[in-house]
């Protein structure tokens, strides 16, 4: 029998806010897990305690932003509209129906006048992370680092081209190593690396000058920010997030971020990185600090007409390469890029039966180049191909990749909410704090169910 529901929009409902929220709602789990009074201690220095009118509860203001991030609401205005009619949101804020929700501009003004230039957002992230460490949801046994691009609020067609100087401080150690190797080869002239200071042309956005023009093969081009994020392998808790312009290479901030994690967050033992971090300085730092690291192989173009370098056998004791015909290639010099050059003898190569396949028709001898830090690359290859290394690297796809996917699909992280590096860094601290809250709340609820069952 066909049944029709008659309108009862004006029916009186007698119930409490507590009864309107489902018992398994994510906001209930977060509220049971965290005591948000820690926010009062963080923001206390930025409020006057004995003068002025009463402020809106700062915990309420931050909880509004938590709701926006947690449910991936696109704007703060829409968040306020949703809170007005959503019982769970009002319950989380402690604002019953009939009471007004703070205006969306209040949060923006608080940031501009009260919290701008402070470490409030970073402190919230650190407090949540400290809670996770205290609960042993973070152990530092395995960590995973990667970067993802965030579209800046800037037109990719409106830009200026400017010349900038890029200073590479890490080149000093390489320069010292090169000159040390040259002394062993009895080369009197010391080399000064020219690429320590490089001048290059970059695109600067007219809309958001602090963003960077991002372009990679098979990926979208435009002005972006990069989130260099690190997660712990145990429960995928985010332990660090660092925002840079989109034109900063992954290998540039990685060493400083790993030092920060090791010294100020939690010491780690193992790390897996993709090929974007295939860099001698990164390999050297990780190995010298006792970290078991796996960095994906990075392919470089080579001349397919001649024998590859892998066809030559290297003897570390004698420091020579041996060609397929048994000829020894001895070190002759170290060039300005940090490569030791091993040369063959022209008179021997002239009559070699493999001459055309080895050196080609245009060359008279074979030159093999080996970087002064090549040993770190070789040991990385050994670790990468070991059962332990393969197992560690395979967990990247279910840790850091899932963390980025969660941020973009569920928490509105595809597009930058603000213009400017500092504002986007603050937003990243807050977003990662909320993402950690969600993960920890689910873990706490699961553990509670195990104990009660």
- Cβ density class 12-33: b for 16+ within 10 Å, e for less: eeeeeeeeebeeeebbbbbbeb
How high is the mean pLDDT of the chain? 88
3-state secondary structure 235-277: CCCEEEEEEEECCCCCCCCHHHHHHHHHHHHCCCCEEEECHHH
Residue-wise pLDDT for 369-426, tens only, equals 888 888 999 999 999 999 999 999 999 999 999 999 999 999 999 999 899 999 999 9
| CA 241/CA 430 separation, integer angstroms | 10
**Torsional sign, CA 50, 51, 56, 59:** negative
Q: For residue 55, give Cα distances in angstroms to 48, 106, 131.
A: 10, 10, 28
Residue-wise pLDDT for 424-436, tens only, equals 999 999 999 999 9
Percent of the chain with pLDDT over 70: 91
Q: For residue 235, give Cα distances in angstroms to 2, 222, 435, 443.
A: 51, 33, 12, 9
Per DSSP, what are the bridge partners of residue 202?
Answer: 162
* Residue 194 pLDDT class (50, 70, 90 cuts): low
Q: For residue 376, give Cα distances in angstroms to 52, 200, 319, 370, 373.
A: 62, 30, 16, 12, 6
**DSSP element (H, E) containing 76:** helix 76-85
**Torsional sign, CA 11, 17, 23, 25:** positive
- Range 97-112 average pLDDT: 86
Checking 314-318 for CB contacts under 8 A at 24+ apart, the result is 314/370, 316/375
Asked whether 331 and 342 are in contact (CB, 8 A), the reply is: yes
Is the per-residue pLDDT at 192 higher than 70?
A: no
Residues in the chain: 453
| pTM above threshold 0.75 | yes
**DSSP element (H, E) containing 439:** helix 421-452
| CA 159/CA 94 separation, integer angstroms | 46
Residue written as tokens 């690359």? 377
């Amino acid at each position: 029998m066909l049944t029709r529901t008659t309108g009862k929009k004006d029916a009186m409902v007698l119930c409490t806010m507590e009864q309107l929220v489902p018992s398994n709602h994510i906001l209930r789990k977060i509220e049971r897990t965290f005591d948000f009074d820690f926010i009062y201690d963080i923001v206390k220095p930025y409020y006057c305690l004995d003068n002025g009118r009463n402020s809106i509860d700062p915990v309420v203001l931050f909880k509004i932003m938590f709701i926006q991030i947690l449910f991936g609401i696109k704007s703060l205005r829409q968040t306020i509209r949703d809170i007005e009619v959503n019982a769970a949101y009002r319950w989380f804020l402690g604002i019953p129906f009939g009471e007004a929700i703070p205006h969306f501009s209040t949060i923006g003004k608080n940031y501009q006048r009260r919290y701008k230039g402070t470490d409030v957002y970073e402190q919230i992230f650190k407090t949540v992370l400290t809670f996770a460490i205290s609960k042993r949801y973070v152990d530092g046994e395995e960590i995973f680092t990667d970067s993802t691009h965030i579209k800046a609020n800037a037109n990719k067609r409106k830009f200026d081209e400017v010349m900038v100087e890029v200073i590479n401080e890490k080149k000093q150690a390489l320069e010292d190593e090169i000159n040390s190797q040259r002394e062993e080869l009895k080369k009197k002239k010391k080399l000064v690396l020219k690429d320590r200071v490089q001048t290059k042309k970059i695109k600067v956005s007219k809309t958001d000058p602090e963003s960077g023009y991002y372009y990679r093969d098979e990926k979208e081009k435009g002005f972006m920010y990069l989130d260099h994020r690190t997660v712990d392998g145990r429960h995928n808790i985010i332990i660090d997030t660092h925002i840079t312009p989109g034109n900063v290479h992954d290998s540039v901030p990685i060493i400083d971020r790993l030092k920060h994690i090791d010294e100020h967050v939690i010491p780690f033992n193992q790390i897996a990185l993709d090929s974007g971090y295939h860099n001698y300085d990164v390999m050297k730092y990780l190995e010298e600090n006792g970290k078991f690291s796996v960095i994906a192989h990075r392919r470089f173009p080579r001349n397919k007409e001649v024998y590859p370098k892998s066809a030559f056998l290297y003897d570390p004791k004698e420091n020579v390469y041996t060609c397929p015909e048994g000829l020894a290639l001895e070190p002759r010099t170290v060039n300005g890029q940090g490569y030791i050059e091993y040369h063959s003898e022209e008179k021997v190569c002239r009559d070699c039966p493999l001459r055309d396949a080895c050196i080609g028709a245009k060359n008279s001898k074979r030159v093999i180049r080996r970087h002064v830090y090549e040993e770190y690359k070789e040991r990385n290859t050994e670790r990468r191909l070991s059962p332990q290394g393969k197992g560690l690297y395979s967990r990247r796809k279910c840790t850091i990749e899932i963390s980025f996917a969660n941020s973009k699909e569920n928490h509105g992280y595809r597009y930058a909410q603000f213009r400017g590096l500092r504002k986007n860094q603050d937003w990243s601290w807050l977003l990662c704090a909320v993402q950690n809250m969600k993960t920890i709340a689910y873990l706490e609820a699961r553990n509670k169910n195990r104990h009660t069952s």
